[in-house]
Amino acid sequence: MVFRFDFGMVKVTLTVTAALSPDLSPAGESHGDSGTRKSHAGREEQSEPLPGFHVKAINHTKDVAMKILQINSSARAENSHSTRLATTLVERLRAAQPQATLTVRDLGRTPHPMLDEAALQALFSPAEQRTPEQAARVAQDDALIAEIQAADVLVLGVPMYNFGVPAQLKNWIDAISRAQVTFRYTANGPEGLLTGKKVYIALTRGGLYRNTPNDSQTPYLKTFFGFLGMTDVQFVYAEGLAMGPEAEQDALASALSQIEQALLA
């Protein structure tokens, strides 16, 4: 007997002689390790996760490789708290799902171009009428869209810059927001086309802004991802990082605890 399952971007066919195998449950708890990760440029980079803890596996069908997309948006190439927290979260996911694949898009090391008039002209020109320069510009956005379409899980590291998200992240947001591709308008309003994905966002701040009117990041990111169809979004906060060494350590310890709880959810 043949059974076919559709998990959004992944389709699975199982052939059995009597009944479904009972061994379709998530992997058990496991300790994470540092390991390596491959960047979008194909580099193998040694990750630097924060200290470990137990993590429960995401409910993912056995033998179906979970695809993780990590977005680092800090302007810092090194010593970024948001990048370290995102890397820690990814390493915990991969510890629980060793077969998972990882794509890293580092927007600080390789910034995406902003949405300007030339980019708009390229995007709104029919493909067959684009100049080579316009085709190349659209292809840059296409690459980011393909990455997020393929991903099952997104992990973002997002510092707070002047009460907002980094410009590098805004450029990425503009690039992946394309009508009829990642969202569309219907008679009932907008409809997101990137459904069935899990999103984790590690937010780092120098001060204390969570659950206050000064936190513009959380509602903005929740609205944006929801608009594209990603409604399963969990936030991890590291706040007070600029309020002294003790406050910094407390903030990172709190973030680790939140990561643990987020992965157990």
> 59-68, 122-131, 167-176, 187-196: which has the minimum mean pLDDT?
59-68
Rounded distance, CA 170 to CA 157, Å? 13
Residue 224 domain flag? yes
Rounded distance, CA 168 to CA 145, Å? 16
Residue 12 domain flag? no
Whether the pLDDT of residue 61 is over 90: the answer is no
Residue 194 Cα distances to 55, 75, 227, 233, 251, angstroms = 26, 27, 9, 13, 32
Query: Using 50, 70 and 90 to split pLDDT, how confident is the model at 233?
Result: very high
Rounded distance, CA 127 to CA 136, Å? 11
Rounded distance, CA 234 to CA 262, Å? 7
Residue 186 domain flag? yes
**Number of CB atoms found within 10 A of residue 171's CB:** 19
Residue 24 domain flag? no
List CB contacts of 109: < 8 A, sequence separation 6 or more.
Answer: 72, 77
Residue 155 domain flag? yes
**Model confidence over 8-48: pLDDT tens digits?**
444 444 433 333 333 323 333 233 333 344 444 433 343 45
pTM: 0.78
Residue 225 domain flag? yes
pLDDT of the residue at 194 = 98
Domain count, the chain: 1
CATH number of the domain where residue 81 is located: 3.40.50.360
Residue 8 domain flag? no
Q: What is the domain range of residue 107? A: 30-264
Residue 83 domain flag? yes
Q: Quick check: helix, strand or coil at residue 189?
A: strand
